[in-house]
Amino acid sequence: MNIRIYSWGLLVVLIGGWEAFTRLSGLSSLVIPTPSAVVEVLWGGLTIGYLWPHIWITTIEMLLGLSLGCGIGFLCGVLLEENGFLRRLLWPYIIASQVVPKLALGPLFIVWFGFGMTSTVVITALICFFPLLENTLTGLHHIDPQKRELFRMLGATRLQALLRLKIPSGLPVIMAGVRVAVVLALVGAVVGEFIGGRSGLGASIIAAQGMMDSSLMFALFIIITLLGMIFYQATIVLERWLLSNHLKGSDP
């Protein structure tokens, strides 16, 4: 596609402009490093290998937090949708807990779980929990009433209606929640590390800040961005695969 070429061209222009600006403006490299310096740091970090453990840790934290948060969020969504009493009972609390900025709980988690991976995973899971809960509830709730009646007419049990009607029908909405959760999981993991991490990409940013190494900070931004894009693309592939039957015959 032509537009792809223009997209890449724009990137080249932006980076070239950045390089030219930093070289010509005489700003200190502490404020804005040149792209070439950033690439040099990035390349060094990857080839010498000191960045890899951090990438690995952030990835693990993100994956753990994402799967815990999504799993629990989905199960709670199913439970609340199936049990109207529980839903009405807990709804105000769910709203209240959703409004609480989860990252503000970081210091408390450090008190509970100590510095390191556990608190970051818990924060990430908590952030991923709500989009899944909300989208599962919405997805399972908005089922064509005639299809509900069809399942009643066919004598389906509640479990059958859940597994064979509600979850498959709600899957597109649930997967949209997963996509939101993936983006939030990266924010959760990185910011969680800002607060209580010893290692990982977020902790490395704080360390680079301490050394006023802005080239390293930019290098880390690039890695985080790439990590996010890989995860997002993987989610889209997963979604296409899960929804392949939903989408057959229509243009995805």
CB burial of 52-67 (b: ≥16 within 10 Å; e: otherwise) equals eebbebbbebbebbbb
- Among 242, 228, 219, 246, smallest CA distance to 38 is for 219
158 touching other proteins, by CB under 8 A: no
Closest CB 51 distance from other proteins, rounded Å: 43
| Shortest distance, position 140 Cβ to other proteins, whole Å | 15
Q: Which of 164, 229, 230, 240 binds other proteins (CB under 8 A)?
A: 164
Closest to 246 (Cα-Cα) out of 179, 176, 181, 183: 176
| For other proteins, the closer CB: 176 or 206 | 176
Closest CA relative to residue 204, chosen from 183, 182, 227, 181: 227
Q: Is 101 exposed, middle or buried (0-12, 13-18, 19+ CB in 10 A)?
A: exposed
The interface region with other proteins, picked from 29-37, 78-86, 103-111, 241-249 by CB under 8 A, is 241-249
Q: Of 1-9, 21-29, 159-167, 204-212, which segment contacts other proteins by CB under 8 A? A: 159-167
Interface with other proteins by CB under 8 A: which range of 3-11, 59-67, 145-153, 217-225?
A: 145-153
**In sequence order, what are the residues at sequence separation of 6 or more whose Cβ sits closer than 8 angstroms to the Cβ of residue 146?**
none
Is residue 240 a contact residue for other proteins (CB under 8 A)? no
- Asked whether the beta carbons of 188 and 127 are under 8 A apart, the reply is yes
Position 248 contacts other proteins (CB under 8 A): yes
Q: List the one residue out of 127, 121, 143, 119 whose CA is nearest residue 73.
A: 127
- Name which position in 165, 175, 181, 217 contacts other proteins (CB under 8 A): 165
Interface stretch with other proteins, choices 16-24, 100-108, 156-164, 195-203 (CB under 8 A): 156-164
Cα torsion 172, 226, 32, 25: sign: negative
Q: Is 252 in the site for other proteins (CB under 8 A)?
A: no
Contact between 150 and other proteins per CB under 8 A: yes
Binds other proteins by CB under 8 A, chosen from 144, 198, 212, 225 = 144
Q: Phi-psi bin for 155: left (phi > 0), alpha (psi -120 to 50), beta? A: left
Q: How far is the CB of 135 from other proteins (least distance, A)?
A: 18
Binders of other proteins: how many residues, by CB under 8 A?
Answer: 22
Give the footprint of other proteins on this chain (CB under 8 A).
144, 146-147, 149-156, 160, 164-165, 168-169, 171, 245-246, 248-250
